[in-house]
A and B are shown apart, each in its own frame.
Chain A
Amino acid sequence: MTIHTHSPAHTTADSAPVLVDIQDLQVTYGDSSPALDGVDLTIRPGEVVALVGESGSGKSTLTKAIIGLLSGSGRVTGGTLTFDGQDLVNASTAEFRRVRGTRIGLVPQDPGASLDPVRTIGYQLTEVFRIHPQKELRSKESQLAEAARLLDLVGVDRPEQRLRQFPHELSGGLKQRVLIAMAFALKPDLLIADEPTSALDVTVQKRVLEVFDRLAKQTGTAVLFVTHDLALATDHASRIVVLQNGRIVEDRDVRAIATDPQHEYTKLLVDAAGQRTPADDLLERALAAAGIKDPVPDLEAQLLPAVEVHGLTKVFGTGEAARRAVDDVSFSVPAGTTFSLVGESGSGKSTTARLILRLLHQDVGTVHVHGQDVSDLTGRQRRDLWKDLQLVYQNPDSALDPRMSIEKIVSEPLDNHRIGTRAERKAKVAELLEQVNLPPRVAAARPAELSGGQRQRVAIARALVLGARTIVLDEALSALDVLTQAQVLDLLDALQRDLGLTYIFISHDLHIVEQISDRVGVMQAGRLVESGTVREIFDSPREHHTQALLAANPGNLLRELTPVH
């Protein structure tokens, strides 16, 4: 059921030449059902097209087919794919090599792993000129000079020095700039950007994408921009193509999609991206569910704080290298509410979380959990604390032992604390799996057989199995795509209502923070620069840093087009 909807903007451009012309493209991996099933897509010179869809929708397959890098058993099983008139379906490896790097460039997803760790930045940048010899760039000196110019162009400071550095000496944002410089080095006609900023935090993301937009405009390069974030797509693209289950379900102008989504799936995406559920509503809903008609005015103040930190300070390193990772941070989280810590990478969010969890010991300050002073807990006492206070970590893939069954993973805390008989543990696990909306059959499965969202549900179930009342969620949703995020958010919400849980939520995704939080704390360079209710922070931020963070939050156009409902 493919819906082809053409916007007026799209049809008027029909007379312009076509750069990429894909007709009825079908790609299959091995003997399974097609990953791409009849995709039609055209990209014109200079156009910025966003390709949006959840994981597994075929986004990556489509981009890999265009650049001829389908992995493993993947192959084109039908349809046509031409680039500037050249047939790419039947192109030989040698023909593809002449196109790659010169006419089609790639900006990859994960800057951390996309540069050769044992070669210098200079070597990898100038390599493009050695692979595709350029008349005016024969000598090594001219190549290095051009590489430095490119780095300068993408806003990398001290370019000459950077050329001699290795990737591990650069931050994620800088690495992505290097990769962008590399992709733009020979001014390609088409640039494929595969979730280019999903590994970066919002402020870095914004700066990197600004460079990207500027370069694309200057060189007249067409961009195919892959993302699972509709908000990001609306900020940077002129056209949005929505992919679901290997088919294009909607392909229209940005404004048309944002204001009037046609396909069910697009509507979901727009809702998920633009949705605003003020926390006050949640509180009211929760109170209503609990049978309380009128919220007491100072309700929050009456609640016992689940977590309270005071003057928390942690210094890493000594002497000149000493760095205050957490600097005099104080806040209090009332039981049954959600407190979010936001800030750039390295601002001290995760260190604060580890101090609360007692995985690190503070230099100065106190931590109280459920009224108990836990500042100096050790050994046995700490283990008891962890019955009450649990962590759900960022990456569900590595937080679950791949060789253990889900049942074993969830019941492991019970085993460790020798709680209950075998039958009781089994019953408890079944109850928890149900609570996190997982079907009973997953109990026997291994983590690899589950989707990312399911794995994160398992991690949540494990955190709850000992009856924890407070959960620290460290970037717990970052690895999930938008729709799965929305589902897990719903689950967290329901659990909070049913069990009265307290969440400390750490994220760089302000969009999620806005949905889940009651209160928000903004961290910068180890200090808590501002904290307040979610509406105070989002509607009237006082601090300059908070305003900058909010401005970097993608989806400005979307918010403008779809006012709060």
Chain B
Amino acid sequence: MARYALGRVGQALIVIWLAYTVVFLSVQLLPSDPVTIFLSADAAPDPAVVAAMQAQYGYDQPLIVQYLGQLAGLFVGDFGYALSAGQTVVERIGGVIGSTLELAGWAFVFAVVLSFVLVSVASLVKVRWVRAVLEALPPLFSSVPVFWVGLIALQVLSFQLGVMSIFPDGSFLSLTVPVVLLGAYVSAPIAQVLFKAIEQTYAQPFVDVLRAKGASETRIFFAHILKNSVAPAFTVMAMAVGALLAGSVITETVFSRSGLGQIVLQGVTAQDIPLVQGLVLITATAFVVFNLIVDLLHPLLDPRVLKAHPAAAGRTR
């Protein structure tokens, strides 16, 4: 188990390093350097200013020096300087990430709870049409655009009913509405994968053996079916980080919330390469961390995973 965990952590670090390298290299593919691009956004920049700024931020150094220097910076939390904000990237992101984490975190919790409740009720309910309706919900959630429902919610709750402020004011509704919208959207793939996995688990012969033991359907579902079926759903949850961040950008824009979404928009519009680079790296890290958590949880859910990695399972037992 220890070797399995170490192996996974090592793989995660390699993925982050690769992500950073790809981002660094793709920036080099741009026709110019970050300073020139940033300064060119408005008008033709003064070459002297460009040269001065390049020297200040180290963009005049040879590539390999830049690469290693920036890589070394990452280890001490130095992501460079966000040109458009006049702050370091860490300060810029740190200033708004709390708001995004609040939104994304609650939306994630809501999505997980919603998908599990949906799937559990649909699996145990005996009325056929209720089941059919519940199974139809996830595709509906994933096909309705968040911004559209968001605008309707704003229109109805703020303008017509006047119960919610147009701008976030810290009230219950101003957080709940975006959380529910984003959460429902993110829950869709989780619930769909769970439905499929549960259907496959129910088709296995051991379920009949459980019934023959006299187990109730509730016991069969919660004590056996669920544990057998959650592994693929966990994988989707880790992938949902992407949908969560992308959804955050839209949701934050619709509900005028500050957050990563806002600075992603800003960074891209202002062509602030160091800021975008930092954001990409944070997203990649979030992906990797979530996948790592899933990989580490997997053997606890399904003991066969370690067997499938004999080298990792090793002689620890």
Residues of A within 8 A of B (CB): 67, 69, 97-102, 104-106, 108-110, 113-119, 127-128, 131-132, 166, 168-169, 179, 182-183
Contacts and interface: CB of A to CB of B under 8 A. Distances in A.
9 contacts: A97-B215, A98-B214, A102-B214, A106-B208, A108-B205, A108-B208, A118-B301, A131-B216, A182-B213
A114 B209 contact: yes
Contacts of B208: 69, 106, 108
A88 B214 CA distance: 15
A101 B224 CA distance: 17
Contact of B227 (A106, A110, A114, A118): A118
Given A108-B208, A109-B205, A113-B205, A119 B224 contact: yes
B302 interface: yes
SS class of chain B's interface: helix, strand, loop or mixed? helix
A113 B204 contact: yes
Residue from B205, B212, B224, B227 whose CB has the most chain A CB atoms within 10 Å:
B212
Given A69-B212, A97-B214, A100-B213, A119 B205 contact: no
Contacts of A105: 212
B307 A168 contact: yes
Given A117-B304, A168-B307, A106 B214 contact: no
Contacts of A113: 204-206
B210 interface: yes
B213 A168 contact: no
Nearest to A109: B205
CB-CB nearest 3 A-B residue pairs: A101-B214, A106-B212, A100-B214
Nearest to A100: B214
Interface of B: 204-206, 208-216, 219, 223-224, 227-228, 301-304, 307
A298 to B, nearest CB: 51
B303 A131 contact: no
B217 to A, nearest CB: 8
A132 B219 CA distance: 12
Given A115-B209, A128-B213, 16 more contacts: A97-B214, A100-B211, A101-B212, A101-B213, A102-B214, A104-B212, A110-B205, A114-B206, A114-B209, A115-B206, A127-B215, A131-B213, A131-B216, A179-B209, A182-B213, A183-B212
Q: By DSSP majority rule, is chain A's interface helix, strand, loop, or mixed?
A: mixed
B216 A118 contact: no
Contacts of A104: 212
Nearest to B304: A168
Nearest to B210: A116
A97 B228 contact: no
A106 B303 CA distance: 26
A98 B204 CA distance: 23
Contacts of A169: 307
B258 to A, nearest CB: 44
A118 B206 contact: no
Nearest to A317: B310
A166 B304 contact: yes
A119 B303 CA distance: 9
Contacts of B304: 117-118, 166, 168
Given A113-B205, A113-B206, A168-B303, A119 B227 contact: yes
Nearest to A179: B209
A108 B302 contact: no
Nearest to A321: B310
Contacts of A182: 209, 213
A82 to B, nearest CB: 19
A187 to B, nearest CB: 14
B219 A116 contact: no
A97 B206 contact: no
Nearest to A110: B205
Contacts of A98: 214
A166 B302 CA distance: 10
A106 B220 CA distance: 17
Given A118-B301, A168-B307, A67 B212 contact: yes
A131 B205 contact: no
A101 B211 CA distance: 9
Nearest to A119: B224
B223 to A, nearest CB: 8
Contact of A116 (B216, B228, B301): B228
A109 B215 CA distance: 19
Contacts of B216: 97, 131
Contacts of A114: 205-206, 209
